[in-house]
A and B are shown apart, each in its own frame.
Chain A
Amino acid sequence: MLDFVQQLVSGVALGCVYGLIALGFVLVYKATEVVNFAQGDLMMLGGFFAFTFIGMMGLNYWIGFAGAVAAMALFGMLAERVVVRPILGYPQFSIIMATIGLGYFLRSIAGMIWGTDDLKIETPFSQGVLRIGSLVLAYDKLSVIAATMILCTLLWLFFNKTTLGTAMRASSENMLAAYYMGIPVKRVVSIVWAISEAVATCAGVLLAPITFIHSNVGLVLGLKAFPAAVLGGFGSIPGAVVGGVLIGVIESMAGFYLPEGWKDVAPYIVLLTVLLLKPEGLFGHHVRKKV
């Protein structure tokens, strides 16, 4: 029983990581209907920025963190301006390919600049564990869970309660109509990319003590976060976190109870099954087609 609880908790922690990355996917998708395959790589870049500020320039952890978030928000706006804006409104597949290309580019450039070694950021939560009875929880994992919950709540409130959030949802439904209603669609899209990359950077920096930072971390985690977002139904913020936690728990349970090799495929098998039964994911909306 204790094993089970321990696995469950570490699965939830892992799942929050996926959820945090999936949040970035969902944000961009929710506001612009763009699926950003480069999200994982942007997260990786955020981690490297934080490493540069904290590890190389020796800034305080929190200042470095904030600096990296700000830098990546600007970078997200730049990426949106250069790569995404010219092809908004074209078939989804064009945009997917463009972001895959962006991901390739960022991975290689990061490898060139920061090398291919695993890098580590010293954080206030790197050491120490929390003991509840005989349960052992590492602080770095708890920090991820806490951050995911806070960010998820903030973003959900932002999308559903603020004017800007409503504008974002409107421009997702129909960009042209939103524009006619006086919503500055281009600026809205730009802002949502900035927010999304800021969230990605939070994920990257919080992950740094757990997974380390290297140029392929974005690809590896991105491929896990993607099913998380799909499982939650691509446009739902709580869905992304629930999907992430599900994937994380499945992965950690499969790793513990099933023979070797199941750990990596179990999430995808579950994903395929869910898609078979519910093609829009668990929290997705069915979109009606017009002819």
Chain B
Amino acid sequence: MRFLFKTDYEDDIRLFPHSGYIVSYGILLALLLIAPHMLSSYLMSQLVFVCIYATVGVALLILTGFTGQASLGHAAFLAIGAYTAAYLQKYNVPFPVYFLAAGALTGLIGAMVGFPALRLTGIYLVIATISFALIVEEILARWESVTNGNEGMRVKTLSLLGVTVPRDSPTFYYLCLAVLVLTIVGSLNLLRSPTGRAFVAIRDSETAARSMGVNVALYKVKSFAISAAITGLAGVLFAHKLSFISPEMFTLQLSIEFIIVILIGGAFSLHGAVLGAIFIVMIDPFLTYLKDDMPGIIAGIAATFGAGPATAGHIKSTVAAFASLNGLKGAIYGIIIVLFVLFEPLGLYGRWLKIKLFFQLFPLYKRATFKRQKIYVKSERNR
């Protein structure tokens, strides 16, 4: 086991605590850079979605994970980013300009949402953000001169510095990856700065933060604005990836998906956003795989255990019928959420930490290390 000796604050807040980090993240980055040459075009497309979802996940982590302000309205911020891009594109505004404009506008709207949210906590904040998202959805459907209403908007192919970048080209993937990496590095820097410390202080105890001199209102609005702006940037990429946007893409369902991203990944570390995004995006190919291959595999297993061909065929058709049931995806989603909340509240990244610690401490690991504290008193629960 490695012990890090820290002699000053600079040591404590280093981006890479030791050389192992540089090596492992370097290898990861190298793998991601050569991915377009290794993976099929379908998986590449999924990887682009992972990048976009992870960017939103990082944004949501800053707000929900680090500032403690729950939001079920991030699909609206994504929509505002996407629509700004599509609208400005009609007037031949170059990509870098509308990319930044979308971020700025979404950030501004985020700050405006942050103001009313200042006085709200817990469930009231959740319902306020849901209301905001529903209102935005309705505006998108009704403001036809700008958003083209329910017919949706076509998004032209991205053109960067005179070069067109089709949505399934490696260059577009590199762009999304660059945005994700820059967002993560930027957020890490933000979180180790005084601003980030203030966010965490507000999450842990608003009253304590206030008594330490943190301007709670200012930092909450900042957190909302930063989170919204990053989501807006992701929205531009989202619009380009889909090449067509309409209001019914940005429903409550999508906001819930984003929350699931950080819930499943682990809402206490930026790693969680990426892991959760991989999980959410890859669940679709996995279900397709289940649908196509599982019946054959299960029938094969049944056959090796001595089932006759008639029984095996029967099993195969039953499994196939089950796998192609309409609502299966929703049911699996639901079960996954419940199971994660019940058994893995720290998410996938928490599981990774547990496994790491298990091997580091080998015979001495105890489960209570990661136990959460239960609070049974109302006034303390409503922090």
Q: Which residues of A contact B (CB under 8 A)?
A: 33, 35, 83, 86-98, 100-109, 111-112, 116, 172-177, 215, 223, 226-227, 230, 234, 261, 264-265, 268-269, 271-272, 275-276, 279-281, 287-291
Contact = CB atoms under 8 A, between A and B. Distances in A.
B365 interface: no
B119 interface: yes
Contacts of A104: 330-331, 333-334, 337
A269 B335 CA distance: 33
Given A261-B138, A275-B128, A90 B345 contact: yes
A72 to B, nearest CB: 18
B119 A101 contact: no
A275 B50 CA distance: 36
Given A87-B341, A90-B372, A93-B64, 13 more contacts: A88-B374, A90-B345, A95-B341, A96-B70, A101-B341, A104-B333, A107-B330, A215-B327, A261-B141, A272-B132, A279-B120, A288-B379, A290-B379
Nearest to B70: A93
B381 interface: yes
Contacts of A264: 134, 138
Contacts of B135: 265, 268-269, 272
B380 interface: yes
B334 A271 contact: no
Contact of A275 (B120, B211, B377): B120
A98 B377 CA distance: 20
Interface centre among A87, A101, A291 (most CB of B within 10 A): A101
A269 B331 CA distance: 32
The SS class assigned to the A binding surface is: helix
A268 B134 contact: yes
Contacts of A92: 122-123, 381-382
Contacts of A269: 131, 135
Contact of A227 (B131, B375, B377): B131
A98 B338 contact: yes
Contact of A101 (B122, B336, B372): B336
Contacts of A234: 123-124
B377 A276 contact: no
B100 to A, nearest CB: 29
B376 interface: yes
Contacts of A106: 334
B334 A275 contact: no
5 contacts: A33-B378, A101-B338, A174-B376, A230-B123, A279-B121
B237 to A, nearest CB: 27
A100 B256 contact: yes
B1 interface: no
B259 A97 contact: yes
B377 A174 contact: yes
Nearest to B327: A108
A287 B131 contact: no
B207 interface: yes
Contact of A105 (B139, B205, B335): B335
A97 to B, nearest CB: 5
Q: Which 5 A-B pairs have the closest CB atoms?
A: A101-B337, A105-B334, A108-B327, A104-B334, A89-B374
A109 B336 contact: no
A122 to B, nearest CB: 27
B263 to A, nearest CB: 6
Contacts of A102: 334, 338
Given A89-B374, A174-B377, A272 B116 contact: yes
Contacts of A271: 127-128, 131
Nearest to A270: B131
A268 B383 CA distance: 25
Contact of A98 (B326, B328, B341, B374): B341
Interface in B222-280: 252, 256, 259-260, 263
Nearest to A37: B126
A90 B374 contact: yes
B338 A173 contact: no
A173 B378 contact: yes
B325 interface: yes
Given A109-B327, A116-B326, A279 B124 contact: yes
Nearest to B138: A265
Contacts of B342: 83, 86-87, 98
